[in-house]
């Protein structure tokens, strides 16, 4: 009997690990001054779900400052079984299309993903604090050596 080459494979434990970020979250953030925005406090609301047979975490966030929406993101996280790394496809309301996804992995409870573009390098560091909270640090570097904070935040699950 011939094998069905279109048969879906099953998600790996590495895919399931992304479920730690699934749910609805409120965040308290600090935005650092950059070429994109002035610094200051912000809040965010994030909704994330495991989808597409458990292979992807799909995350949508809206950032508010002074009572107005100022930034929004759409992130798609997965585990790439070919190169054995996690991937983050990141789209935001600044409108830049990344040339490739951020890539990285877990060390303990910390998931670090890095991507480069003609504008420089971005690093996303997600750390699980407990079942109901995590932190995020987004950093920028022109040369992938000296990193400057762009955003830090702590996010708490909404029950």
22 closest CA partner among 63, 74, 59: 59
CATH superfamily of 13-157: Calycin beta-barrel core domain (2.40.128.20)
Tell me the average pLDDT of the chain: 91
Query: 3-state class of 19 per DSSP?
Result: helix
Give the pLDDT band (50/70/90) at residue 78.
Answer: very high
Helix, strand, coil percent values for the chain (each to nearest 5): 5, 60, 35
- What whole-number percentage of the chain has pLDDT above 70? 95
Between CA 71 and CA 64 the distance in angstroms is 7
Give the pLDDT band (50/70/90) at residue 123.
Answer: very high
The whole-number average pLDDT for the span 32-45 is 88
Sorted by where each begins, the domain ranges of the chain are 13-157
Whether the Cβ atoms of residue 71 and residue 92 lie closer than 8 Å to each other: yes
Between CA 159 and CA 157 the distance in angstroms is 6
State the Cα angle at 47 between 150 and 39, rounded to 5°: 20
Between CA 26 and CA 62 the distance in angstroms is 10
Contacts of 152 (CB under 8 A, 6+ apart): 29, 30, 32, 135, 136, 137, 138
């Amino acid at each position: 009997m011939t094998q069905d080459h279109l048969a879906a494979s099953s998600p790996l434990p590495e895919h399931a690990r992304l479920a730690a970020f699934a749910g609805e979250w409120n965040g308290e953030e600090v935005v650092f001054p950059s070429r994109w925005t002035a610094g200051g406090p912000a809040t965010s609301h994030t909704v994330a779900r495991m989808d597409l047979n458990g292979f992807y975490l799909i995350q949508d966030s809206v950032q508010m400052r002074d009572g107005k929406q100022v930034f929004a993101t759409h992130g798609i996280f997965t585990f790439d079984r070919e190169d054995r790394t996690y991937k983050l496809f990141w789209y935001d309301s600044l409108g830049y299309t990344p040339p490739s996804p951020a890539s990285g992995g877990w060390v303990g409870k910390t998931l670090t993903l890095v991507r480069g573009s003609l504008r420089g390098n971005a690093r996303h560091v997600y750390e699980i604090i407990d079942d109901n909270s995590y932190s995020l640090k987004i950093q920028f570097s022109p040369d992938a050596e000296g990193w400057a904070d762009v955003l830090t935040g702590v996010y708490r699950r909404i029950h």
